[in-house]
A and B are shown apart, each in its own frame.
Chain A
């Protein structure tokens, strides 16, 4: 959880550092930051991808997926509520990078629902098939989300910011996997000890992400008071 919050914070800091982009209003900045937080949680799911032999880790991974769905849902619906013209970005005539965002959300939702024990065997059959498809769909979601974030270009002002996002995106899941394979850090391979804390973690993380998004929007308002 600490790593996930750190990651969400880092991604938000990229936005905070975007001094050249003026505020678009508290709600707009908050919802943008919420999208970045969701992106961070999705990347974090890759970090956690080696997990779930043991039940607490499985719960954590599943709840993280649900948290990501909720954050993305709030991000999209929030924009629609504050600015009805955003609906143009959800229609077939919308730019590709927006349609990829919609695709990423639907795919994330589908993979989360079909991965629940109740639907998993009906949807995928064997565990091996499930695991393979889960990876493929995750990579598609990650790529589509990355394209959506980078091409939308609403928050990343300077050229180094997209580069940093891309580095973070590739680096986090890769670093998690490599570290576990090489057993660089025993902490990475250790399952959480308390089931209750694991069940709570994603909710705290989602609240943390919303809190960070609020903080980002507030700081942006303060920093751009004269914009």
Chain B
């Protein structure tokens, strides 16, 4: 029983480590379908377009954000920072100034079907 338990624990740890080292987690992140995201451009008219649409000025790509940010190995590991981080920091700054800043934590506030203009 004891040997079985120890063996199982060692196997789980080794397996997980090898899976991460072999790029398994990055692949899982790339292949996982996107959650729906709602975004209202009308609520963000005061924000400079290039704050988010950096490709307008740096010629780093065309098309939708997630064409690169979800699939490109160079940036997809940073998808959390580039999206959650960018949205949250801006919303928190606004709220710190007493303005309506939008969602900061609850996942479902943003990850819902996009019906916004």
Contact = CB atoms under 8 A, between A and B. Distances in A.
Consensus secondary structure, chain A interface = loop
Interface stretch (A36-44, A119-127, A198-206, A208-216): A119-127
A35 to B, nearest CB: 13
A226 B100 CA distance: 10
Consensus secondary structure, chain B interface = helix
B28 A92 contact: yes
B2 A227 contact: no
B29 interface: yes
Contacts of B32: 88, 91, 93
Contacts of A22: 92, 95, 101, 104
Contacts of B80: 95
Nearest to A98: B80
Interface residues of B, number: 22
B4 to A, nearest CB: 10
Contacts of A227: 95
B106 A28 contact: yes
Given A91-B32, A93-B29, A124-B2, A20 B107 contact: no
Closest 9 CB pairs of A and B: A24-B105, A93-B32, A85-B107, A93-B28, A93-B29, A92-B28, A85-B111, A83-B108, A24-B106
Interface of A: 20-22, 24-25, 28, 83-86, 88, 91-93, 95, 114, 122-125, 154, 226-227
21 contacts: A21-B105, A22-B95, A22-B101, A24-B104, A24-B105, A24-B106, A28-B106, A83-B107, A84-B108, A86-B107, A88-B32, A88-B35, A88-B107, A91-B32, A92-B25, A93-B25, A95-B80, A114-B5, A122-B2, A123-B5, A226-B98
